[in-house]
């Protein structure tokens, strides 16, 4: 079947470099002396530890429970003893640590008894909960909890399930090798997902530089005999494996920034995620292992089946790290992150471990001024004007950067790849984005602090006035106790009651006016707003004056002028 | 420590600029062959001046000198200035124009990538306003041997009346002013086949170099296509209306600075528009203004002023022609 394919603008064609790591089949990596299993390996809440130091755990045992629905569980990849639960170095550019369960394997690999789960009979909600507790998250790199993406959505079901086997980043071949060896189970997983999403068709997108994987998938699709399942070979062009780019190529739909693909009837999963779903439901296997490509400056580049939690150094030992390695990267050379150390563990997001050498990835040449040649704009798959974003980010003109759609940038690196001035463009965008986020956080914090402060002031003042009003009411009630003035008492009682209520109202109004004035004064920083602020002050003063006049009941003009003059300097 | 991407295409500003220099070689070769080697001397003069000014300004600005000097951008400016000027110009005129372009036009605005005006066109505009007589002395075919030409350039000899001829644009202007019509002017022997003896070949060589730039993806099609299309269109319409007073597209495309302007001047990325639609507007504007100056203005050719005027409009053009970003085209529909 010939399918009409679409195209996205831009993109680049770096040397795929996928040959070296696909010569040998996937090898199962032995267990390391210690497994470091981070509790937080996905988008969403950090799981609560279910074990304590000294506990014996079994293979497949849940050691961290999902924290709410936007979270996912973590499991022990083998049997052993929990030796520590403490912050450990994470595979993240920040070099920060995060809570991890450290397990010393006992070598017996004793499995936990599987709780029976008949997923065929279960409701979709139960299946989603099961996948959450099996720790299934997106294995393409974003590690978004998969169960959250598996509802049909509001608009009466999904049209297309896109299975992402494009794997466009150079050097990475873990999906390629997985598709070659596990094509049928990948498609079985996809069919489960299709059912859960009520999708009309499943499109598996594979770049044309992976003919073996495409052939294996096509054979498996034929064997499964589902008419709605189609394996589509797409042209090799980075970043065709970006979810939005692949959706565009396969369906022609462009999902804008800020929208979900499901709004357009499309849902997208990585091929490895489909296999994880199948293994969880059919075999009761939680996600405790993944395929990791080890490539770059190593003696034996290869794909390994690695237990999650294996220290990265241990993985590199098996591939033979070369002497002149200057840097370790998690992910591919276009979007990968520099690793802070070899002690960091393999996590669910680790698709590739790349060793860099000065010869393989030479340090960038000195940055020259932008000459506005527009190469970056031609390479941008998001149709942005990267050099404009660069100008505004560099000038810390973040508002303008946002006007030029800074947050539509997917940080694919195409612009920096083609830049003749060797400008690290993506770094400028990361900087601008983090600055904007920091400012928004600061602003939110300042707003809530101001609100709290204003409310506290208002409450203190209200309590003071209430006390004063009560006192006044009591002193006014005293003459009413005299029997001679019985006919006067209702009037006096009323007079006492009215001020008691009135000042309250006036105070609330005054406080609200002040808050409003202050808010305006903060929002717009020019002298124009002084007038409303002054007015509010005058109103507040008048409210207080009225109150004072009522309480004291002198009714003289002197107090008024005094209050007014006393109020003025406070501005 | 640096971040992704770790892969970089093998490209550099130097490579881009060098490619532009190479693409200029056909036109330089043809012009030197037909009009004498004085052009090569002018190019050498301009290059030396440009590099000296670049180094001086970088040093004054406290910037590293070596990387900027070797990025070849100063040489591109120098060569473009030299090919715009009459080759028999006294040496100090070329030096003055080049120094003005580099010091005022480039570095006072902040150097490479910061200049709002095309430096080469600034130099041309300065010289034609200051020295209109010198700037109109163009040599005819095979005028004088090299030694004689050098005497004109360096010796101060200015008895050029016999050797310099009017360029086709000049001839047309003078002819029309003396009551002749376009057809009569163009029949004169100095006029060559279409657009001036010799100059039409130089123009074709510029076109060839421009096609090389297109093929190597240094420039996009937008600017040359819009430039040449609008120039053909307006001159074609005018000559259809009054052929006696307005030359047709063939002359306007092959004479003066049209070809060089379309492929080498209006395509300058720094001072030109950057968005696809913006490039079309920018180039169309230059062609229109240049034709208006040619047809109605006081100067024989108007490319330089047209480019400078459109340079002013670039920020506005770019702002108003931002292309829609991914997913914002037709609400995401295919």
**For range A332-336, the mean pLDDT:** 95
Q: Model confidence over A45-56: pLDDT tens digits?
A: 899 999 999 999
Q: Give me the residues of A, 409-428, that contact B with CB < 8 A.
A: 413, 416-422, 424, 426-427
Cα separation of B129 and A61, whole Å? 86
Mean pLDDT of A389-400: 94
Interface test with A, best of B1, B2, B8 (most A CBs within 10 A): B8
Mutation target among A373, A388, A407, A418 for the B interface, most CBs of B within 10 A: A373
Of residues B18 and B244, which shows the higher confidence score? B18
State residue A336's pLDDT score.
94
- Above 60 in pLDDT, residue B196? yes
The closest CB to that of A256, out of B6, B318, B332, belongs to: B332
DSSP string, B309-325: HHHHHHHHHHHHTPPPP
Domain boundaries, chain A: 124-283, 375-423, 436-570
- A97-105 vs A160-165, strand pairing mode: unpaired
Hey, is the C-beta of A372 within 8 angstroms of any chain B C-beta? yes
Q: What residues does each domain of chain B span? A: 12-165, 173-320
Chain B, nearest residue to A356 by Cα: B6
* Cβ atoms within 10 Å, residue A322: 15
Q: Which of A162, A165, A158, A171 has the alpha carbon at shortest distance from A207?
A: A165
Whole-model pTM?
Answer: 0.82
Q: What is the ipTM of this complex?
A: 0.88
Cross-chain CB nearest to A417 (options B8, B112, B324): B8
Contacts of B273 in chain A (CB under 8 A): none
Residue in this structure with the two tokens 């998969």, named with its chain if needed: A146
Cα–Cα distance, B283 to B230 (Å, whole number): 8
- In A339-474, the DSSP E strands lie at 352-356
From CA B38, how far away is CA A55, in angstroms rounded?
91
* Whether the predicted pLDDT of A236 surpasses 60: yes
Q: In the A/B pair of chains, how many CB contacts fall below 8 A?
A: 142
Q: How would residue B159 be classed by pLDDT, with cut points 50, 70 and 90?
A: low
- Ramachandran region of residue A78, left (φ > 0), alpha (ψ -120 to 50) or beta? beta
Q: How confident is the model at residue B257 (pLDDT cuts 50, 70, 90)?
A: confident
Q: Which chain B residues are Cβ-neighbours of A381 within 8 angstroms?
A: 326
Inter-chain CB proximity B7 and A256 less than 8 Å: no
Segment B282-321, tens digit of pLDDT: 999 999 999 999 888 888 778 999 999 999 999 999 999 9
Cross-chain residue pair B13–A430, CB shorter than 8 Å: no
Nearest Cβ partner for B4 among A9, A337, A378: A337
Fold for the domain defined by A124-283: Rossmann fold (3.40.50)
Enumerate the H helices of chain B as residue ranges.
13-35, 38-60, 65-69, 73-84, 91-99, 119-130, 146-154, 168-177, 182-187, 199-215, 222-241, 249-254, 258-260, 276-296, 303-320
DSSP state letter for A29: P
**pLDDT tens column, A454-471:** 999 999 999 999 999 999
Asked if A256's CB is within 8 angstroms of B328's CB, the reply is yes
């Amino acid at each position: 079947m010939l399918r009409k394919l679409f195209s996205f603008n831009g993109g680049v064609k770096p040397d795929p470099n996928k040959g070296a790591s696909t010569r040998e089949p996937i090898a199962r990596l032995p267990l390391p002396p210690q497994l470091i299993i981070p509790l937080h390996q996905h988008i969403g809440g950090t799981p609560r530890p279910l074990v304590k130091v000294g506990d014996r755990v079994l293979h497949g045992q849940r050691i961290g429970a999902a924290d709410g629905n936007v979270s996912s569980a973590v499991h022990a990849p083998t049997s052993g003893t929990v030796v520590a639960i403490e912050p450990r170095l994470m595979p993240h550019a920040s070099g920060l640590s995060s809570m991890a369960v450290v397990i010393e394997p006992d070598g017996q690999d004793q499995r936990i008894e599987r709780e029976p789960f008949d997923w065929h009979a279960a409701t979709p909600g139960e299946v989603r909960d099961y996948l959450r507790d099996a720790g299934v998250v997106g294995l393409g790199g974003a590690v978004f909890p998969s169960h959250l993406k598996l509802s049909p959505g509001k608009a009466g079901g999904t049209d297309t399930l896109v299975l992402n086997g494009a794997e466009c980043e150079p050097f990475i071949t873990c999906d390629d090798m997985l598709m070659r060896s596990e094509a049928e189970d990948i498609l079985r997983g996809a069919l489960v997902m299709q059912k859960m999403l009520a999708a009309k068709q499943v499109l598996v997108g594979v770049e044309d530089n992976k003919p073996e994987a495409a052939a294996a998938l096509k054979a498996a699709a034929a064997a499964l005999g589902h008419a709605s399942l189609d394996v589509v070979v797409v042209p090799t062009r980075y970043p065709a494996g970006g979810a939005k780019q692949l959706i565009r190529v396969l369906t022609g739909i462009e999902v804008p920034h800020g929208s979900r693909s499901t709004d357009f009837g499309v849902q997208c999963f990585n091929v490895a995620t489909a296999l994880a779903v199948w293994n969880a439901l059919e075999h009761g296997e939680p996600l405790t292992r993944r395929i990791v490509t080890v490539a770059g400056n190593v003696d034996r580049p290869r794909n390994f089946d690695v237990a999650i939690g294996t220290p990265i150094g241990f993985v590199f030992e098996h591939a033979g790290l070369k002497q002149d390695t200057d840097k370790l990267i998690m992910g591919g050379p276009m979007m990968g992150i520099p690793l802070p150390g070899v002690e960091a563990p393999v996590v669910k997001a680790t698709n590739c471990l790349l060793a860099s050498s000065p010869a393989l990835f030479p340090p960038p040449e000195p940055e020259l001024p932008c000459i506005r040649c527009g190469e970056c704009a031609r390479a941008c798959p998001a149709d942005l004007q990267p050099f404009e974003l660069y100008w505004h980010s560099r000038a810390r003109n973040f508002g303008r950067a946002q006007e030029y759609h800074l947050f539509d940038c997917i940080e694919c690196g195409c612009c920096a790849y083609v830049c003749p001035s060797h400008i690290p463009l993506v770094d400028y965008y990361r900087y601008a984005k983090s600055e904007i986020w920091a400012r928004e956080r600061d602003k939110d914090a300042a707003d809530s602090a101001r609100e709290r402060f204003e409310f506290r002031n208002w409450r203190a003042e209200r309590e003071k006035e209430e006390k004063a009003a009560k006192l006044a009411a009591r002193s006014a009630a005293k003459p009413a106790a005299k029997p001679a003035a019985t006919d006067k008492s209702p009037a006096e009682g009323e007079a006492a009651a009215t001020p008691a209520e009135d000042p309250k109202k006036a105070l609330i109004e005054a406080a609200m006016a002040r808050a409003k004035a202050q808010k305006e004064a903060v929002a717009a920083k020019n002298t124009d707003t002084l007038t409303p602020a002054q007015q509010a002050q005058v109103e507040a003063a008048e409210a207080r004056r009225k109150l004072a006049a009522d309480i004291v009941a002198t009714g003289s003009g002197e107090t008024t002028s005094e209050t007014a003059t006393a109020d003025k300097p406070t501005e | 420590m640096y971040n992704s991407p770790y892969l970089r295409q093998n490209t550099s500003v130097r490579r881009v600029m060098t490619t532009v220099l190479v693409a200029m070689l056909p036109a330089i070769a043809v012009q030197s062959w037909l009009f004498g080697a004085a052009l090569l001397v002018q190019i050498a003069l301009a290059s030396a001046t440009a590099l000296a000014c670049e180094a001086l300004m970088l040093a004054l600005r406290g910037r590293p000198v070596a990387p900027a000097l070797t990025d070849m951008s100063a040489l591109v400016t120098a060569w473009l200035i030299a090919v715009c000027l009459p080759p028999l110009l006294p040496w100090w005129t070329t030096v003055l124009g080049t120094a003005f372009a580099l010091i005022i036009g480039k570095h006072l605005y902040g150097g490479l990538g910061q200049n709002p005006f095309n430096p080469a066109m600034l130099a041309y505009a300065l010289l034609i306003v200051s020295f209109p007589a010198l700037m109109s002395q163009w040599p005819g075919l095979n005028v004088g041997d090299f030694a004689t030409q050098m005497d004109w350039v360096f010796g101060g000899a200015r008895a050029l009346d016999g050797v310099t001829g009017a360029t086709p644009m000049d001839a047309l202007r003078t002819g029309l002013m003396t009551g002749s019509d376009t057809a009569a002017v163009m029949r004169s022997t100095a006029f060559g086949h279409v657009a001036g003896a010799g100059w039409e070949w130089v123009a074709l060589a510029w076109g060839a170099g421009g096609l090389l730039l297109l093929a190597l993806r240094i420039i996009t099609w937008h600017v040359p296509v819009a430039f040449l299309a609008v120039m053909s269109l307006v001159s074609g319409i005018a000559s259809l209306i009054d052929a006696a007073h307005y030359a047709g597209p063939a002359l306007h495309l092959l004479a003066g600075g049209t070809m060089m302007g379309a492929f080498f001047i209006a395509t300058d990325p720094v001072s030109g528009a950057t968005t696809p639609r913006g490039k079309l507007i920018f180039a169309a504007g230059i062609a229109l203004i240049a034709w208006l100056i040619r047809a109605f203005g006081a100067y024989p050719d108007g490319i330089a002023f047209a480019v400078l005027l459109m340079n002013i409009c670039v920020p506005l053009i770019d702002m108003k022609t931002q292309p829609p970003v991914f997913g914002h085209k037709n609400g995401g529909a295919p």
